Chains A and B, each alone.
Chain A
Amino acid sequence: MKPHTLSVLVENKPGVLSRVTGLFSRRGFNIESLAVGVCEEPGTSRITIVCIGDDAQIEQVMKQLNKLIDVIKVSDLTENDRVERELALIKVNAEPGSSRAEIMQLASIFRAQIIDVGAKTLVLSVAGETKKIDALEKLLRQYGVKELVRTGTIAILRGSKTVKSAK
């Protein structure tokens, strides 16, 4: 059982996301993360899904996804060379004084940006692999994370390979 990153190319039609997520819940598959947006082909969207399962389960997930009429292509990127990114916005307690300086230092080490400065808080924006965001989050917890928002993972293959419809 390990996380798999699936890239799902779908028709940009109403109800598609609900068909995809509904399929996961009713067939007892778990979604770890999900991110959706339009993509380079007009009229289509790309959904990146991270889900955990053994090989047989993942194969079944992919086959069931493929059965949906509005799903054009499903690829498992897990075994391929790929880059993955996630974006997080983190609002952390930062009283003026020492902690504020420490947080700003952490931000620069993680290449996070401070995108809002409040009287008692800072908002950090950080992009990267899930593990990196997890690590920063853990460090920030000691100051008190007031709010955390993550986009879910998106992924793309390295090099010239692409996930596209057959035509």
Chain B
Amino acid sequence: MKTGARILVEGLQREGVETIFGYPGGVVLPIYDELYDSPIRHILVRHEQAAAHAADGFARASGRVGVCLATSGPGACNLVTGIATAYMDSVPIVALTGQVPTSLLGNDAFQESDITGITMPITKHNYLVKRTEDLGHIVREAFFIARTGRPGPVLIDLPKDVSTREVEFEYSDSETVSLRGYQPTYRGHPKQIEKAVDLILEAERPLLYVGGGVISSDASPELVQLAETLGIPVTTTLMGLGAIPCDHPLNLGMLGMHGTRYANYAVTETDLLIAIGVRFDDRVTGKIDTFASQARIIHIDIDPAEIGKNKRVDVPIVGDAKSVLKDMIARVQKKKDYAKWHERIRSWKEKYPMRYRKDGALRPQYVIEELSALMKGEGIIVSEVGQNQMWTAQYYCFKKPRGWITSGGLGTMGYGFPAAMGAHFARPGETVFDVAGDGSFQMNIQELGTVSHYRIPVKVAILNNRFLGMVRQWQELFYDRRYSYTELPPVDFVKIANAYGIDGMRVEDPSEVRPALKAAIETEGPFVLDFRIEREENVFPMVPAGAAINEMIGGPCE
């Protein structure tokens, strides 16, 4: 006989789970008691939101499923932002929540909340387990659903009596998951792939537009191979950074609201847009009617609902990016000469490089460039949300997939620091940096406690402008500089770090940037760097909301 809690913990082990992030409470005590003697390591966070983000960071860095655990009611509700973040960026996590005993369900019992109801719109699927007998199978199904097809978060809600009840239970190795309502398509349709290849060979000005789907399907090598074989330039979304090395001659960098001018001009002039693992998000497309309006569009995505959702597509291909790219490469024989197109792109690149002012002030772009130079494309860079995120996306040279972790879809402030903790457990030997804003960092600053407790060697680089910078930038540009509630009083982050037993350093001059970053990297444990940057620095270029993406403001011609 086994209790539900035991079945759960065994199930987690069978799914290969080594680390979970959580926070205890009354109804999950049976699970915590089971964890006490289990080989699974539990990391006690300081707020459940951080547990969900850490599971998410773990998943993005490793390509495996991240797991978090919280108690019922307030604990479960605190996971919500983290689950929604994972949902928007298609990240595989399994969230475990405790629930009041089945006999009290629906009675507004102490610490009851309808977490399956609450998370229905932000999970790929969720379960309220009513019978201990079903638990083993549900755990297996949950992991299967989270990591297959278009990945996403799955929640399992466990009433206390379900985890304490004992039933006869043995895992069988032959058990497999088969769901008649869930049959993802991995192979692209050969006819469609053929059509796509024909279009590519006909095109004069093709462009690859790639996103997070290429990262999550580990399709970078195939992407680079296809681009190189045919000589097609590539632009990536925020989520796609690292899919092709930043310094690859075919790479145009990021497109969209804060993309490079040359990427956005290329999208505007391309006659064939090959979209892979992207969803034509409004932050990317700007005014949708004018986005790639001269182009025919090939769209490759594992989720059929993404194809044609925002933009009409000429050749839809439902399938896994890696598999479809392989099939495409196998069909590509002739190489076409897109010389005129490359020439045009080169002239844009020369005319509109990414540039910022170098006048002796401490500018965030410089901090990022220095960080990039020191890291040499190794390690993991995580960001918060706002200007810090965009500067990192623009000025950091990402060389590998899964080296960049950021909240793209939901844009969750406070995501970066806990996600960085999770990323460390996925790849313990590597340097992990959280590039933060002073606003965002204060949204989960309590995790300094967790980092200190377990000596998690996460480095935090705060680009401290004493503003909610990105919002202030909008107020400057579109609200006549009326800085309504976006100024933050200065905080001594080094002192706060010290209070938690963590080393830190404040930096005010450009000359100190490199030594400070070096010190952080060379310190064994966690480290907090407080960069007092120019207060009113802006992120440029920028496409104003609702404009076409070639109508950019700012940049080198500011």
Contacts and interface: CB of A to CB of B under 8 A. Distances in A.
Interface stretch (B176-184, B377-385, B544-552): B176-184
A31 to B, nearest CB: 16
B121 interface: yes
Given A19-B120, A22-B121, A69 B181 contact: yes
Contacts of A167: 180
A64 B179 contact: no
B106 to A, nearest CB: 12
A167 B130 CA distance: 28
B145 interface: yes
A67 B120 contact: no
Contacts of A68: 181
B179 A66 contact: no
A10 B180 CA distance: 10
Interface in A60-93: 60, 63-64, 66-73
A43 to B, nearest CB: 10
B308 to A, nearest CB: 7
A129 interface: no
A70 B121 contact: no
A98 to B, nearest CB: 52
Interface string B176-194: 0001111100000000000
B122 to A, nearest CB: 10
A15 B116 contact: yes
A161 interface: no
A72 B116 contact: no
Nearest to A11: B181
A56 B311 CA distance: 10
B515 interface: no
A69 B145 CA distance: 9
Interface in B436-453: none
A19 B124 CA distance: 11
B303 interface: yes
B181 A70 contact: yes
Contacts of A15: 116, 120, 128
B501 interface: no
B429 interface: no
A15 B308 CA distance: 29
Which one of B179, B180, B308 has the highest number of Cβ atoms from chain A below 10 Å of its Cβ? B180
Contacts of A70: 181
B304 interface: yes
Given A18-B120, A22-B121, A26-B121, A165 B180 contact: yes
B116 to A, nearest CB: 7
B305 A69 contact: no
Interface in B303-338: 303-305, 308-309
B305 A14 contact: no
B117 interface: yes
A67 B117 CA distance: 18
Given A19-B120, A22-B120, A22-B121, A14 B181 contact: no
A143 B181 CA distance: 49
Contacts of B121: 22, 26
B309 A72 contact: no
A69 B308 contact: no
A72 B181 CA distance: 4
A18 B117 contact: yes
Contacts of B180: 11, 72, 165-167
A127 to B, nearest CB: 31
A56 B305 CA distance: 11
A95 interface: no
A87 B128 CA distance: 35
A63 B304 contact: yes
A59 interface: yes
A83 to B, nearest CB: 26
A22 B118 CA distance: 11
A96 B183 CA distance: 62
Interface in B121-136: 121, 124-125, 128, 130
A69 B179 CA distance: 8
Given A22-B121, A63-B304, A66-B304, A14 B179 contact: no
A167 B180 CA distance: 8
Nearest to B306: A63
A59 B308 contact: yes
A15 to B, nearest CB: 7
B120 A14 contact: no
A24 to B, nearest CB: 11
B447 to A, nearest CB: 31
Given A22-B121, A69-B145, 14 more contacts: A14-B128, A14-B130, A18-B117, A19-B120, A26-B121, A56-B308, A63-B305, A66-B304, A69-B179, A72-B180, A72-B181, A73-B181, A166-B180, A166-B183
Interface of B: 116-117, 120-121, 124-125, 128, 130, 145, 179-183, 303-305, 308-309
18 contacts: A10-B181, A11-B181, A14-B128, A14-B130, A15-B120, A15-B128, A18-B120, A22-B120, A22-B121, A26-B121, A59-B308, A60-B309, A66-B304, A67-B303, A69-B145, A70-B181, A166-B180, A167-B180
